[in-house]
Amino acid sequence: MPGTDGGDKGANLGATFDAASELYQRARPEYPTALIDTVVEITGVRAGDRLLEIGCATGKATLPLARRGFRIICIEPGSNLAAAARKNLAPFEDVRIVEARFEDWQLPDGMRFDLVFAATAWHWVDPQVRYQRAWHALRPGRHLAFWDALHVLPEDGDPFFIDIQDIYDEIGEGLPPGTASPRPGELPDRRDEIEASRLFEVVDVRHYDWEVVYDADGYIDLLNTFSGHILMQPWQRDRLYTEIRRRLAERPDGRLRRHWGAVLNIGRRRD
């Protein structure tokens, strides 16, 4: 939803992130430590266990788990993102980056995992096969965990995102009439989808919300990692970004507050 400041227009646009590999690591937010703690606690994984990550990008979610001593194979279809992940994760000998689509990747003979996880990537995987492929990659009774980082707007949130909608409308990237921004705790979960797969049972669903403060440069860097903004015409980005800079320059601190939300979905493999 570009008009909300940066969503994604469709799953077939996942490859556009590869063009933003240099920005992704610094511009995208860190995931809450509490979220990572919950993944480890609920799934019961321990240092030395084998993890499979789907769509690691530059390693935003990989790093905190690598630091805990897990052996991780990361599947990343974007060549530039995969190269950035190898650089960021080079200190960890037990982390390996594989450049491939999860739908096409061949599971090594005899290898099974204690956890399959995806951070802001599960929705890019073909829904016709993603649960089946995750099920086959897991050891019996082990877990699948996935979450997305999305924009939420609390009642006391920064009005900047509502105010800037006139520019999105002007450049032809506005939201459909009646579109509402989700509040913290209101993002949809995937429990019904998990149960409908008949391959996993839901064991935990939790919401996380956090705030990041951006200056104009940092915020524009963030927007340039969203597929909807990457695919804009240059004149559209120039008009939008010029106005963002102008409006933030009028603020005493030159900054905006952006609230993030994530829903952590954890399922256990049915045997």
Task: Report how far apart, in Å, the C-alpha atoms of 183 and of each of 67, 186, 209, 226, 257 are.
Answer: 32, 5, 10, 21, 15
3-state secondary structure of 30: coil
Instruction: List CB contacts of 266: < 8 A, sequence separation 6 or more.
Output: 39, 42, 43, 143, 144, 145, 202, 203, 204, 205
Spatial CA neighbour of 236 closest among 252, 225, 224: 224
**Higher-pLDDT residue of 90, 1:** 90
Distance, in Å, from the CA atom of 83 to the CA atom of 75, rounded to the nearest integer, reads 12
Average pLDDT taken over every residue of the chain:
93
Q: Kindly tell me the burial class for residue 227, based on how many C-beta atoms sit within 10 Å of its own C-beta (0-12, 13-18, 19 or more).
A: buried
Positive or negative torsion for Cα 6, 37, 185, 187: positive
Beta partners for residue 256, in sequence order: 214
What are the tens digits of pLDDT across the range 96-116? 999 999 999 999 999 999 999
Q: What is the DSSP letter of 36?
A: H
**Does 6 score more than 90 pLDDT?**
no
Mean pLDDT on 175-201: 93
Q: Which two tokens stand for residue 98?
A: 């594989």
Distance, in Å, from the CA atom of 73 to the CA atom of 71, rounded to the nearest integer, reads 7
Give the HSE-up count for residue 72: Cα atoms under 13 Å, Cβ half-sphere.
Answer: 31
**Does 242 score more than 60 pLDDT?**
yes
Domains, the chain: 2-269 (3.40.50.150)
pTM above 0.85, yes or no: yes
What share of the chain has pLDDT > 70, as a percent? Answer: 93
Distance, in Å, from the CA atom of 113 to the CA atom of 100, rounded to the nearest integer, reads 18
